[in-house]
Chains A and B, each alone.
Chain A
Amino acid sequence: MHEPVDANADLLTPPVLSIGGVTKRFGPLTVLDRCSLDVAEGEIVTLLGPSGCGKTTLLRCIAGFWAPDAGTITIDGADTVRVPVNRRPVGVVFQSYALFPHLTVAKNVAYGLRMRGMAKADIAARVARALETVALSDFAGRYPAQLSGGQQQRVAIARVLVLEPRVLLLDEPFNALDAKLRGAMQVDLRQLIKRLGITAIFVTHDQEEALTMSDRIAVMRAGRIEQLAPPEEIFDHPATAYVADFIGSSNFWQSHAEGGRVNLPDGQSAPSHRAGDVTIMVRPHNLAIRPGEDGPLKGAVGFQRNIGALVEYHVATDGGGTVRVMAMRQERGRSIADGTRVTLSILDPNLCAVYEPQ
C-alpha cells in the first residue's frame, strides 16, 4: 500500500474544484478511500478505472447527490458540504442523459434557466444560443424520443452548459454511442469545453477516450487515485504496475535488481531505482521480433492479428507465459507465420519500467 496521491503539487492558479481526502462507505464497503484531486480553471480531468472502482460515486459526491463520510469538497474555495444539490454550481451530464421525456428539446434546455427564475425572453435567447452551439437548432421542437442517441447526448450537454456551471461532470457520456460517432463526439466535446473554458471532470473506463479527452488523467483503483498525471506521462511512465497494466497493453517479468541496474529477460540491463526483487514492464512496441533462435528470449508465435499498419504477435515464450509484441506489418510473404520460432529483444532498455514485485 502506498500513500494516497498528492492532490496536485504543480497547479499555478487556485483550483476551481478541490477534493480533499474524500471517503465514502456503503456499509462495510469503502467505495472511496481518501481521494484527493485538485482541478484547475478550464482543465479537463478524467477519472479512469475499471467498473466498480468508485468513479460514479466520486461524481455523485461532487454533485451533492451523496455526502462523503469524510473529507472536503470545495468549489472556488467554498466548502460544499452544506450546499444542497440544486444550489451547487455543478452541471452533470448523466450516462443515461436523463432528458425529460415530456419536454421538447428547447424546454429541456430551458429547464434550468426556468428554475432560476430567469425572464422568458432571456431564456429564449440563451436556449437558442445553446442549441446553436451543439448544432441542434432545427430540433428545438422535438421530443427526446424523436432524437438519435448522439442528438440526445448533445441536448444533455446543452441543457447543462446553458447554465454556465463552474464545474461540468460527465459520467461516461459516450457509452451509448457506436464507436465511430464516439470518436467524432470526443473531439467535438473536448473542443467545445476548451472553447468555453469550462472546468470538467470526465469519467470513462475506456483508456483511448481518456487519452483523447484529458489534460490530466486520474487512474482509479478500488476507491483510490493511483496516479494523477497528463496522458503522455501516464502512458510513458506509469507509476505502478496496475496503471501500466490498465493503460495500453504491457508485458511483465519478475526480475532482480542490484547496484542500480536490473536484468532484462533478453540479456540486456536497465537502470533501476529499486533493489531486490522487482517487476519489470515492457510495452509491446518496445520489443523487436525476428525469426530464428539467436538470443536468450525465445519462443513460438502462437497468434497474430493485424491492427491497421501494425501486427500484434502473441509469442509463447520458452520460459512460460505469453508476450505481446507490436511490430510494423511486413510486406507480403515476409511476415512471420504462426508457429515460427522467434527471438525477442528489447529495443530501448531505458523505457522499461521497474515496479515493486507482484
Chain B
Amino acid sequence: MSSATALPPRGMLRIATDATLDKLLSGRGIWPAVPAIVVLAAVAVIPFGILLSLGFSDIAVERGAIISQTFTLDYVRTALADPLTFTVFQRSMVLALSTMLLCLFFGYPVAYLFLIGGPWVRRLILVLTIAPLLTSGIVRTYAWLVILGGRGLVNNTLIEIGLIERPLRIINTHWAVLIGMAQIHLPVMILPLIAVMSRHDRRLDEASANLGASRLGTLVNVILPLSVPGIGTGAALVFTISYTTFVVPQLLGGGNYLNAATMIYEQVVYSLEWSKGSVSSMILMATCLVVLVFIALITNHFTRWTKGREA
C-alpha cells in the first residue's frame, strides 16, 4: 500500500460531520455508554441471573457442570429458618458498621489535617494514604498477625512494661478482625474525604471565623456539613467492602470465625452446596443494599441544599 492510501478519502471526512456520528463523538445520548453496558451485562447481570436461579432450585452437578435443575423454595426456607444464618449476618453487620465508624473516627481528623495543612502536609497525607493500597491486602493482614500475635509487638511491649504477665489472646478474636479491618480499609474512607476537602472553599472558614466562630465552631458548622458527601461515599464504600470481606476475617479471625463471606466460601468450596451458597449470597447482597440505601438517604437529607437550584 502506498502512503497516500493511509489518508481517509474525501467522502469519509464528509461522513464525519454526519449528525449521528457527531452526536456519538460529542458524547450526547447513550451511545458512548454502549460498550460499557455490553460488558456489564456480560460479566455482571448474566452471572447474577445464574446465581439467583441456583438459590431457587435443586441441582445435580457432574464434573463441575450442572446436569439437572428443578425449582424449589427449600433452600431459601432452610436458610431463613437456620439460627446460624442470623448469627453470622448479624456478626458481619456489626463488624462492618463498627469498621465504618472506626474508619470515620480515625479518617476524619486526617482529612481535616489535609484541609488545614500546607502543600507538604497534603502531599505527605496523600502518599501515606495511597501507599498501603499499592501493597496486597493479604500482606497487610499478615502484618497484623505479626503485630497482634501471642509473641507479637503488642503483647511483647505490654509484657515488657509490666502491664500484663502472660500474652493476651488478641489474634483469632473479633477484636483482631476489627482492628485489622479498620486499618486496612482506612484509605478507602480517607480518599473520598480528601476529595471533598480539596474542593472546600477556605474563604468560608475565614468568613466563619470573622463572624465569631472558634476553630471548633467552624469545623462543626461549616466544614462538617459541607463534607457530608465525602462522608457518605466513604461510609458506603467501607461498609460494603467490610460487610463482604473475606481475607481479613479468614486470617485474623482464625479458622472458626464465620462471617458472611467465609460462610459462603465454606458452603460453596467445602460443602459443595451451591444452592445454599447462592441463598447466602443473596441475603448478603440484599442486606448490604438496605444499608447502602439507608446511608444514601441520610446523606441526601444532609445535602438538601445542593438541590436548591431546582426548587
Q: What residues make up the interface of A, taking CB atoms closer than 8 Å to B?
A: 63, 65, 84-88, 90-92, 94, 96, 98-103, 111-112, 115-116, 142-143, 145-146, 159-160, 163
Residue pair A102, B210 in contact (C-beta under 8 Å): no
A54 to chain B minimum Cβ distance, whole angstroms, is 18
Q: Is the CB of B206 within 8 A of A65?
A: yes
Stretch at the interface among B58-66, B221-229, B235-243, B283-291: B221-229
For the complex, what is the distance from the CA of A146 to the CA of B308, rounded to whole Å?
6
- B204 partner residues in chain A, CB cutoff 8 A: 98, 100
- B213 part of interface (Cβ distance < 8 Å): yes
Please give the distance in Å from A95's CB to the nearest CB on chain B: 9
* Cross-interface CB contact of B212 among A96, A112, A146, cutoff 8 Å: A112
Known interface pairs A63-B210, A86-B209; A96-B203 also in contact (CB < 8 Å): yes
CB of B217 closer than 8 Å to a CB of A:
yes
| A-chain residues with CB within 8 Å of residue B28 when the two chains form the complex | none
Q: How far apart sit A1 and B209, CA to CA, in the bound complex (Å)? A: 38
Say yes or no: is B211 at the interface (Cβ < 8 Å to chain A).
yes
Least CB distance, B221 to chain A, in whole angstroms? 7
A142 to chain B, nearest CB (A): 7
B208: Cβ under 8 A from any A Cβ: yes
Answer yes or no: B301 CB below 8 A from chain A CBs: no
Q: Report chain B residues within 8 Å CB of A142.
A: 308
Extra contacts besides A92-B210, A163-B211 (10): CB < 8 Å: A86-B212, A87-B212, A91-B210, A98-B203, A98-B207, A102-B225, A102-B303, A146-B311, A160-B210, A163-B212
5 residue pairs, one from A and one from B, having the closest CB atoms:
A143-B308, A112-B211, A98-B207, A115-B212, A85-B209
- Alpha-carbon distance A91/B207, docked complex (angstroms): 9
- Contact of B305 with A by CB under 8 A: yes
> What's the minimum C-beta distance from A168 to chain B, rounded to whole angstroms?
11
Q: Which residue of A lies closest to B225 (CB)?
A: A102
Contact, CB under 8 Å: A85 / B226: no
Residues of B within 8 A of A65 (CB): 206, 209
Which residue, of A94, A100, A145, A146, has the highest number of chain B Cβ atoms within 10 A? A100
In whole angstroms, what is the CA distance A111 to B207 when docked?
A: 10
Task: Give the distance to chain A from B160, nearest Cβ to Cβ, in Å.
Answer: 44
Distance A100 CA – B305 CA, assembled complex (angstroms): 10
A-chain residues with CB within 8 Å of residue B308 when the two chains form the complex: 142-143, 145-146
A7 to B308, CA, bound (A): 48
B10 at interface by CB-CB < 8 Å = no
CB-CB contacts below 8 Å: B287-311 with A:
303, 305, 308-309, 311
Whether A90 lies near B210 (C-beta < 8 A) is yes
Among A63, A94, A115, point to the contact of B213 (Cβ < 8 A): A115
Q: Which of B203, B208, B212 contacts A116 (CB 8 A)?
A: B212
B74 proximal to A (CB < 8 A): no
Q: Does B157 contact A (CB under 8 A)?
A: no
Q: How many angstroms from the CA of A291 to the CA of B254 in the assembled complex? A: 104
Residues of A within 8 A of B217 (CB): 86, 115
A-B contact pairs, 26 of them (CB 8 A): A63-B210, A65-B206, A65-B209, A85-B206, A86-B209, A86-B213, A86-B214, A87-B212, A92-B206, A92-B207, A92-B210, A94-B206, A94-B207, A96-B203, A98-B204, A99-B207, A100-B208, A103-B305, A111-B211, A112-B212, A115-B208, A115-B212, A116-B212, A143-B308, A145-B309, A146-B308
Q: Are B221 and A111 in contact (CB under 8 A)?
A: yes
Quick one: which of B3-51 are within 8 Å of A by CB?
A: none
> Which residues of B have CB within 8 Å of A63?
210
- Nearest CB of B to A138, in Å: 15
**Cβ contacts under 8 Å, A85 to chain B:** 206, 209-210
Closest to A162 in B: B211
Complex interface: chain B residues within 8 A of A112 (CB): 211-212
How far, in Å, is A83 (CB) from chain B's closest CB? Answer: 12
Q: How far is the CA of A145 from the CA of B308 in the complex (A)?
A: 7
